[in-house]
Amino acid sequence: MSRQSTIQGAEFYFDSGAFFTALEQRVSVHSESQNHHAFDQLHAYLQDIIMPELASLGFQSRLVANPVTEVNQPGSWPFLIAERIEDPTQLTLLTYGHGDVVRGYDDQWKAGLSPWKVVVDGDRWYGRGTADNKGQHTINFAALKQVIEAKDGKLGFNVKVILEMGEEAGSPGLAELCELYKEELAADLFIASDGPRLSAEHPTIFLGSRGGFNFDMKVLLRDGAHHSGNWGGLLSNAGTRLAHAWASMVDAKGKILVKGLLPARLPESVRQALKDIPVGEGANSPAIDPNWGEVRFNPSRASFCVEHFRDAGLQNGQSGYACECNSRLRQRPLSAAFCGRKRQSKFLKHIRDHLDLHGFSDVEVTDSGHTMEATRLDPEDPWVDWALASLAQTTGKKTVLLPNLGGSLPNDVFANILNLPTVWVPHSYPACSQHAPNEHVLAPVCREALQIMTGLFWDLSEQGASIQAKR
């Protein structure tokens, strides 16, 4: 069979309703990883759905207990590791997905919709996990099947799979799993799918994630609160101190003022990749604020955001004078320039030095313990040109290349621990209501994604060895 006829097979798989049926089965599993009463559903998703499917494709797979949580929370957030080895000397692909979802929020969906049932409304297919991430890894496994069958069972490369069930809980244990099984998971290339395209109309590749660094700021001035009428103007106020400390770090237009958290410039390869990317053109996209934030790095902007700001001493509308105030903040770094552990590890020091310099030594700053490192593959890597050419050949469209996804993905695990070149091909779109009620995918995007991944895996079979040799 030819490349084109194999892609036509993927089209038939979609048009026949087989993809819809597979997605419907997956969505029906209540695999909420943030719900500790749903751990049995996490195992069921892997054992009853994924393992039989992979077995039919010639994979050997097994469940692996979470190396971090298993002792304290038996049964929590399991992993599946699978492999299909044709020849140990051939190129090996590692792929990844997650079968867990955020909470369903059942009573918040529009009338007639349910998080646990795929409901069709025009081009929109509603259901929890349709976009994040059940629909995306379902597409990739189906595309692999098309190529395996078209080539009479011989892909021409090996495939390894990690499927986790705790991504929406912060991927607990994923890094430790990859450290423990580093040799078993060794590969030459990583290709996976998560997150949105730039827009529904634009096939997209991204090479990593800009990550995030959460930290806490706290002001504790004295024991106990005091009445604002009696003591206001005489005692320093924790809320005021913390608000001004924050204002010293970010101005009124979102510009970051902490020396060391922004680079002098972007790498040229990243600047070239970003220069023609349209942002915010989707029908449901918010209007972009052209003068907000780090305009000189447009459209690759770093950001600070406040996740909560709380007066710890006063509740229920009491009239008092705050003695303690807390906030949690998130820095989403400009990872185009801040990829690498060494630079990101200094974020807290830069913030501490800034606060001391501006007279806020009374403000405590601590790492909240949730850091996702900024990582990306170099846009000039041979795998990038190869992937772009494959998508262009399949779709006849210009593919958008994003150096980094704006959201959070555990790409640092694959890039830094397993030392793999990482290529992500997302199958959703920005207005998919990911993590919210009414999550959905667009049927035309799913159909095109099946074409794209079938073509990509075909090209990996035909060209993978030569691209690997170039590196």
Q: Mean pLDDT score of the chain, rounded to an integer?
A: 87
Residues 387 and 393: their CA atoms lie apart, in Å, by: 10
Lowest-confidence range among 102-116, 258-272, 297-311, 451-465? Answer: 297-311
- Which of 311, 315, 320 minimizes the C-alpha distance to 229? 320
- Predicted local confidence at residue 150, as pLDDT: 98
What is the mean predicted confidence (pLDDT) over 374-395? 95
Q: How confident is the model at residue 372 (pLDDT cuts 50, 70, 90)?
A: confident
Residue 73: band (very low, low, confident or very high) from pLDDT cuts 50, 70, 90: low
| Contact predicate 266/297, CB 8 Å | yes
Residues 186-210: tens digit of each pLDDT? 999 999 999 999 999 999 999 998 7
Condensed to tens digits (0 to 9), the pLDDT of residues 255-295 reads 889 888 776 666 777 777 777 776 666 666 667 777 777 76
Please write the tens of the pLDDT for every residue from 37-70: 889 999 999 999 999 999 999 999 999 999 986 5
CA atoms of 133 and 426, how far apart (whole Å): 10
Share of the chain above pLDDT 70, in %: 82
Evaluate whether 3-209+374-470 and 212-276+295-372 have a shared fold.
no
pTM of the model: 0.84
Assigned CATH for 212-276+295-372: 3.30.70.360
pLDDT at 337: 42
CA dihedral 302, 307, 311, 316 (to 10 degrees): 150
In this predicted structure, the answer to whether residue 305 has a pLDDT above a threshold of 80 is: no
Q: What is the pLDDT of residue 403?
A: 87
Q: What is the pLDDT of residues 342-353, one digit of tens each?
A: 455 688 889 999
At 345 the pLDDT is: 61
Per-domain boundaries in the chain:
3-209+374-470, 212-276+295-372
Q: How high is the pLDDT of residue 342?
A: 46
Average pLDDT of span 105-128: 98
| Rounded Cα gap, residues 224 and 228, in angstroms | 13
**pLDDT for residue 12 is more than 60:** yes
pLDDT of the residue at 230? 62
First to last CA, the chain: 29
| Beta-carbon contacts of residue 414 (< 8 Å; ≥ 6 apart) | 94, 96, 178, 190, 420, 422
Q: How much is the pLDDT for 343?
A: 52
Mapped onto helix, strand or coil, the DSSP state of residue 48 is helix
CATH topology of domain 3-209+374-470: Aminopeptidase (3.40.630)
**How many Å apart are CA 235 and CA 257, to the nearest integer?**
28
96-100, 336-340, 442-446, 466-470: which range is least confident on average?
Answer: 336-340
